[in-house]
Amino acid sequence: STGVVKMQPKAEELKFVTKNDGYVHIHPSSVNYQTRHFDSPYLVYHEKIKTSRVFIRDCSMVSVYPLVLLGGGQVHMQLQRGEFVISLDDGWIRFVAASHQVAELVKELRCELDQLLQDKIKNPSMDLCMCPRGSRIIGMIVKLVTTQ
């Protein structure tokens, strides 16, 4: 006669998966240790240590678009079972896109951003916000990340 309420995991029960170490836990000294729910299942971290088990520290939640746009490795897109999948890190991290158009646009935006950053490295005095191409790319990324 009554419903079941899903409980958030206890801090010590919360775990994440890494490519090389399998399950990792947030270290008790981390400011995120008591956080029991993240809006995104992805964290970035600075430090990983192994004591009684593998822990991460200095971690922050990251949502999908910043991960796709700023994460390491090449972005790939493929059709799998009727869904368009964007993948990073040789397919280890994968996202389902809403449509083929969205997947293509995200992949193209990533390529444009990579090229823009390469141009900035070659010419450090270039003001990315003042050049038309740079300001359009940055504006689109800001809009995408803030409205997701």
Q: Does 79 share its domain with 141?
A: yes
Q: Does 74 share its domain with 118?
A: yes
Q: Does 58 share its domain with 81?
A: no
Residue 38 contacts residue 29 (beta carbons within 8 Å): no
pLDDT confidence of residue 2: 60
The residues, ordered by sequence, that sit 6+ positions from 127 with a Cβ below 8 Å of its Cβ are: 134
Q: Does 26 share its domain with 47?
A: yes
Q: Does 70 share its domain with 140?
A: yes
Q: What is the DSSP string of 76-124?
A: EEEEETTEEEEEEGGGTEEEE-SSHHHHHHHHHHHHHHHHHHHHHHH-T
**Residues 34, 94, 111, 145, CA torsion sign:** negative
pLDDT confidence of residue 122: 96
pLDDT confidence of residue 127: 93
Q: Count of CB atoms within 10 A of residue 106's CB?
A: 21
Q: Does 53 share its domain with 120?
A: no
Q: Does 19 share its domain with 81?
A: no
Reported residue count of the chain is 148
Q: Which residues pair with 86 in a beta bridge?
A: 77, 95
What is the tens place of the pLDDT at every residue in 35-92?
Answer: 888 888 889 999 999 999 999 999 999 888 888 888 877 888 888 888 888 888 878 8
Q: Does 87 share its domain with 37?
A: no
- CB-count burial class (<10 Å; 0-12, 13-18, 19+) for 3: exposed
> What is the three-class DSSP state of 143?
helix
- CB-count burial class (<10 Å; 0-12, 13-18, 19+) for 145: middle
Residue 4 is assigned to a structural domain of this protein? no
Q: Does 29 share its domain with 77?
A: no
pLDDT confidence of residue 5: 66
pLDDT confidence of residue 3: 63
Q: Quote the domain boundaries for residue 32.
A: 11-62
**Overall domain count for the chain:** 2
